[in-house]
Structure 1
């Protein structure tokens, strides 16, 4: 019998105004830039981080292209008009959120059209969300605008017909390094049927094991502000070693 799948570490490169930065996600806003809380600003370029990931064969990360054509995904402003351009530029997949929610209302037509145009295998749907009561609602536009879509099994099953992966930032804990949203991770493990990466709040290498336990190995984890290459304390090299042991 094949070994059961285990959660692995997935890389990321977060860009803001052209620089690699780690930001407390809930403070992002167009209207109040003075409240933006930045945890880290890198001296290195996005391409340098992409090269690090390439050397260690960490595929499926988001978001830089030139240093590793075909190895990384890109998100941010992706639409039906530019998705193929980014794929032609070297993205392995494109990540889309806001385009699917004109005026905050989900458009199945846009999703179907985009999936048909580029192929579902090249499409990642970002269902990053904010908690409202006992529910999680998809958030867009720097996670400031709440859409009409609840993150639920029914909706994830529907979306999975048109994409190959989900990306889920827990925006309420993103960048805080105070722990993951364990309830959300557990629910994702129960709900998802395609590869899924969770981001938000990871603070220790043991969080990878926690995500594995909570999700039954169905959800992968990305580290941001807590990672040592981004100014934090979690060892990037130890995470790479852990991935190797799990493979």
Structure 2
């Protein structure tokens, strides 16, 4: 299992929101590029960047993303507001290792096959954000009629290289994880699952590791000191 620190960017700062709601910032740090570099220095093998302004349609932080790419050497996965094939191409050309596509994939699943064929499936990740066991889109503001598993099966067939599963029901609340949804995905999907949402303790990491989770993204628990990254590395494999 690979432990991935989250660097969520809003209005030019590294932030942590409660369940993605604007105005609920619990953490605000200047210079996201420096924050990203510090995670790398602590031993992160991968970084998770989200452009929250892009996801919410309120702007973008591409200049800061370029600063992070230039300031770090580990692979970066990035999502938030990636709504066109041109967005995907520009990010991959800039040095992003894996693009995370949410709303665009839900609206047009065939785009995932096109992108996977063009750039390689390992560079294309589909984001499935779940609320009340239904996938939500547009920065978690609109609900669909399908479950995460139903969509995961569709996108596995379309050639996605991985699935980022975020459980919005527990995300940002620091109350621990709900294992059933991710367990269902791991038991039924063969491509890697990246889990995000509610990780609060080392026990949560042990649970996810025991389930066979491939990657986990941690945000608030790291920034609030509930989990020390050095301790989390106990559950990181090579």
TM superposition score category, shorter chain reference: 0.7 to 0.9
1:99 aligns with 2:104: yes
Any gaps of 5 or more consecutive residues in structure 2? 50-67
Q: Does 1:38 align with 2:30?
A: no
Residues 1:181 and 2:178 aligned together: yes
Cα RMSD over matched residues?
2.0
Q: Distance in 1 between matches of 2:233 and 2:190?
A: 25
Question: Is residue 65 from structure 1 mapped to residue 62 from structure 2 by the alignment?
Answer: no
State the aligned residue count. Answer: 218
Kept after mapping to 2: 8 A contact 1:56/1:240: no
Structure label with greater radius of gyration: 1
Q: 2:161 aligns with which of 139, 164, 183?
A: 164
Q: Structure 1's 101 and 155: CA in aligned 2 closer, same or farther, altered over 3 A? A: closer
- Equivalent residue in structure 2 for 1:88, among 86, 90, 93: 93
Deviation at 1:180, TM superposition (A): 0.7
Q: Does 1:226 align with 2:221?
A: yes
TM-score (ref. length: structure 1): 0.80
State how far apart, in whole Å, the 2-side matches of 1:41 and 1:237 are.
Answer: 22
Deviations 1:184-236 (A, max 9, x none): 122122122111111111111121101123x2x13432221111xx1332111
Kindly indicate which of the two structures has a greater share of residues assigned to helix: 2
Partner of 1:47: 33
Matched, 1:9 2:3: yes
Q: Does 1:76 align with 2:80?
A: yes
Change (3 A) 1:66 1:149: farther
The TM-score normalised by the length of structure 2 is: 0.83
**Shift in Å at residue 163 of structure 1?**
1.5
Does structure 2 conserve the Cα–Cα contact (< 8 Å) formed by 1:175 and 1:201?
Answer: yes
Q: How does 1:120-135 map to 2 (within 5 A)?
A: 120-131=121-132
